[in-house]
Amino acid sequence: MSWYEEWFWSDAYTRVYDHRDDTDAERLVDLIEQNLAPASGSHLLDIGCGRGRHARALARRDWQVTGLDLSEDAIAAARSQAADEGLDETVSFQVGDMRTPVCDGCADGVINLFTSFGYFDADAENERALAAMATALRPDGWFLQDFLNAPQVAASLGASEYETEDGHTIHQDRWIEDGRVNKQITVRRNGHTETFQESVRLYTLSDLTAMYARVGLDVVDLFGDYDGGNYVPDESPRLLLHAVPAS
């Protein structure tokens, strides 16, 4: 089993990333609304949607949203939460592999957020996933990808440890090997220990823009954080790429 088939829908994942909550998702949706300005009723695809926090935030603003994720458990959780919020008519979720296009030219916008990319061992498979996202776009559509900022990640490698509010100790260690940034996460509580891995291809801005060109996308803007700040290679916490189908 690949690391991403186990980690993202584990209980430990929610503890490690509990700060990535609905408030965090709303910040990114603010950026989309203010800088990309989708028309009312636009159809948006959230590829690698996980439990659906971004898809639900988009749906709360009356866009029509489809979320896709590989995990049946994550999709079930996303559907349940959307139903609880009364969003059934504006958001839907489906299980699927991001390397297979959801549709051909059905989406006004496609989003791929929180570094839900670069998981596959082969660059060709990651590019296949990007091509599938591009395929789903209408000719006048737009694409937004939220990826890690490679120079900032390389400068901040190392170990960290902290305790959660419910008493779990989280130890994380990150290192770069074979062009990938790897993370080992150890979660301890009451003598019980669980260990998980993350491994993401450390694509740079130039890597991504070249890949975009190969799948028919042109980068038109960059952001360095969820507030829409300018991208600064050695400083920005994130790399957000806004692209459109090549003319």
- pLDDT at 162 (0 to 100): 76
Mean pLDDT over the full length of the chain: 93
Q: Between β-strands 180-189 and 169-177, what pairing exists: parallel, antiparallel or unpaired?
A: antiparallel
| Residue range 106-115: mean pLDDT, rounded | 97
What is the reported pLDDT for 19?
60
- The torsion angle over the Cα atoms of residues 37, 39, 45 and 49, rounded to 10 degrees, is 50
**Are 109 and 143 spatial neighbours (Cβ–Cβ below 8 Å)?**
yes
The whole-angstrom separation of Cα 21 and Cα 25 is 6
CA 170 to chain centre: 22
Q: How many Å apart are CA 80 and CA 87, to the nearest integer?
A: 10
Q: What is the mean pLDDT of residues 114-129?
A: 96
Residue 222 to residue 224: CA distance in whole angstroms: 7
Confidence of residue 18 (pLDDT cuts 50, 70, 90): low
Class of residue 131 by CB neighbours under 10 A (exposed 0-12, middle 13-18, buried 19+):
middle
Helix, strand, coil in percent for the chain, rounding step 5: 30, 35, 35
For residue 22, the model assigns a pLDDT of 82
Lowest mean pLDDT among 12-26, 63-77, 220-234: 12-26
pLDDT for residue 30 is more than 90: yes
In terms of pLDDT, which residue wins out, 164 or 18? 164
- Which percentage of the chain shows pLDDT scores above 70? 95
Residue 14 has pLDDT above 90, yes or no: no
Q: In degrees rounded to 5, what are phi and psi of residue 164?
A: -85, 170
Long-range contacts from 187-196, C-beta under 8 angstroms, 24+ separation: 187/12, 187/15, 187/16, 194/10, 194/12, 196/3, 196/6, 196/7, 196/10, 196/12, 196/13
* First and final C-alpha spacing in the chain: 40
- For the segment 163-170, the average pLDDT, to the nearest whole number, is 82
pLDDT of residue 20: 61
Q: How confident is the model at residue 159 (pLDDT cuts 50, 70, 90)?
A: confident
- Whether the pLDDT of residue 3 is over 80: the answer is no
E strand map for 73-216: 91-95, 107-112, 137-148, 159-163, 169-177, 180-189, 192-201
Mean pLDDT of the 17-39 span: 88
Q: What is the reported pLDDT for 38?
A: 97
Question: Which of the two residues, 121 and 15, has the higher pLDDT score?
Answer: 121
| Percent of the chain surpassing pLDDT 90 | 78
Compute the average pLDDT of residues 182-195. Answer: 89
pLDDT at residue 136 tops 90 = yes
For domain 3-149+204-245, give its CATH number from 2.60.40.10, 3.40.50.150, 3.30.720.200, 1.20.1080.10.
3.40.50.150
The per-residue pLDDT for 34 is 97
